[in-house]
Chains A and B, each alone.
Chain A
């Protein structure tokens, strides 16, 4: 007797056989126990599968509990964009614009600072000259790293498009100004002898750099000690331990140095980022002098204004424009000639020698008053910062709920998170120092490293705050509300602890390291999840 095959039985069980075939099967089954048993087994199996598949084995995850969270994604993006725009405007209106205005009022030129510092100055030319293989590789590596976190969820065409676009952008950057490529030197010590001329921008890195000859372009220098006795027709952009300029610079000096000694002449402006400055009696600055360093002594002449925000400022020379000083102490010597108005904001009144020539008395704004203002400001800023952090936390839990949950979860494993965070910050500082301070080729990469860390550093408080709030209150329940409440409490505690002297500093550091570790572990977890998913599929 021929039995009915399994596929026919299955089609019958599923109602897929036409009537004649079904009748034939039913007639056969009435006389064949084996096929009847097969039919019964298949039906039983179908029921078993249906029961196993539909069994409620897992509850709906908390983040899916309410449709509001699903709907939130769109307005959250809009809100995020709005907040970001508002924050950008606030930074511009509250920080950049007032500084810019005060610089303009102080006689520091009418041109845009951004244009001055970035596009017209040595800074930009230097950077564009320094884009080389290492920087290109760094940008590509960074791009690939970012893409590696995402591509599993992206259509392949989009991924390819982005990679091609990235490569084209890098190529475009690298090839942007081949004609103006600078002369680049990287030696232990470099000396441009007297009479020698470099007809191009000169970029030098080394322990000791001496320029006795002529640079017919900009000089960009990274060194322990720099001495310029020759002539630079463009700008000097210097990162150095000690810099001494006895020669002539036709345009600007921008120095990020420990000590700057200037005895030569500068056609335009001098800006000092850090350290001490000694503007000698032979020094002649055609434009303005800006100092954000420590101590400064001015014996030479400054054609236009002075803006100083150091600890101590002493003026024995001449200032052609307005003088604005912020710091602990201002001394105006008997040989000083100040042709513009003078304003000093400090703890104690300025010392003005009897023989000093001033067109008007020094306007003194005592810092005690300023301090009171700044206390109010500090509190207002602290409240705003707190609100912003809570808001960003809310956005994060709405837009990237999976990542937010993962971050809070990894923050719970605090020894691991702290360890990873510490290691990351050490590596980050090491890379930054190596890239920016020592290796000429890595300035762009260094800046990329530095800026890439800021968002992580900022978000660290949110994850630690969310964990802390969760640890104090009851375990996390479903919905945004309870999570937000925990975050708000945690952030508040962190902000209050940060206000305590000494302890606050340690707390800040701990939160930074801990949160950084939690974020990186969460990123690792998320990317691993995607990889596992791909393999499983």
Chain B
């Protein structure tokens, strides 16, 4: 989506109508972003509201030479990550677990089959069951299209660790999708 630079510029200069347009254009995407990261719909609603309040306060600080959506997701990420951290997400322990966890080399054909068969709803349901950090890493990469550098900065980890983090998260997501499929099958048999 091409960025409405003129509208953003007007919003930066305090034009409330332009701000309204910015809001209408980006609020749905930010809401879905929060929805993927935060545990409940109500949390995502509250977070969307709070993020746009922050954005409105900070919009003068936005550097127009950089992509607006990247800045937007950066603010949203910080807000959501703060929310999760306030709820005592034990990320240090999680990091240890991830680093020590052995990974099985997947069968490419099985992988292709899984991603072809699963619907978007299946994937999102599985995503919701993941630990906060894994969920966050996947959403930053595949929803907000952040670079490894940006993800490292947002999550406070070394850039070299981001690949490992993403790979572990993908494995966790695959496991969760398989578990979801197995549960559906057993329900169907019953």
Could you say which residues of chain A place their CB within 8 Å of the CB of B98? none
A472 within 8 A of partner (CB): no
Interface centre among A52, A57, A63, A153 (most CB of B within 10 A): A52
A5 within 8 A of partner (CB): yes
Q: Which of B131-148 contact A (CB under 8 A)?
A: 132, 138-139, 141-143, 145, 148
8 Å CB contact of B167 from A10, A37, A53, A61: A10
Stretch with Cβ within 8 A of A (4 or more), from B2-10, B23-31, B71-79, B181-189: B23-31
B35 contacts A50, C-beta separation under 8 Å? no
B154 within 8 A of partner (CB): no
A14 contacts B124, C-beta separation under 8 Å? no
Alpha-carbon distance A67/B56, docked complex (angstroms): 10
Q: How far is the CB of A67 from chain B (nearest CB, A)?
A: 4
Alpha-carbon distance A313/B106, docked complex (angstroms): 96
Could you say which residues of chain B place their CB within 8 Å of the CB of A42? 111
Q: Which of B34-67 contact A (CB under 8 A)?
A: 35-36, 38-43, 45-46, 48-49, 52-53, 56
Could you say which residues of chain A place their CB within 8 Å of the CB of B124? 52-53, 55, 57
A61 contacts B163, C-beta separation under 8 Å? no
A53 contacts B163, C-beta separation under 8 Å? no
Could you say which residues of chain B place their CB within 8 Å of the CB of A51? 120
Q: How far is the CB of B146 from chain A (nearest CB, A)?
A: 11
A16 contacts B56, C-beta separation under 8 Å? no
A56 contacts B28, C-beta separation under 8 Å? yes
A6 contacts B123, C-beta separation under 8 Å? no
State the majority secondary structure of interface residues on A. Answer: helix
B105 contacts A70, C-beta separation under 8 Å? no
Chain B interface size band reads 35 or more
Could you say which residues of chain B place their CB within 8 Å of the CB of A117? none
Alpha-carbon distance A41/B87, docked complex (angstroms): 36
Q: How far is the CB of B51 from chain A (nearest CB, A)?
A: 10
A50 contacts B143, C-beta separation under 8 Å? yes
A54 contacts B166, C-beta separation under 8 Å? no
A48 within 8 A of partner (CB): yes
8 Å CB contact of A7 from B28, B141, B163: B163
Chain A residue with minimal CB distance to B159? Answer: A16
8 Å CB contact of A50 from B19, B105, B142: B142
Chain B residue with minimal CB distance to A536? Answer: B39
Q: How far is the CB of A147 from chain B (nearest CB, A)?
A: 15
Supposing A41-B112, A67-B20, A534-B87 touch, asked if A49 and B32 sit within 8 A by C-beta, the answer is no
Interface centre among A6, A50, A153, A402 (most CB of B within 10 A): A6
Chain A residue with minimal CB distance to B160? Answer: A16
A196 within 8 A of partner (CB): no
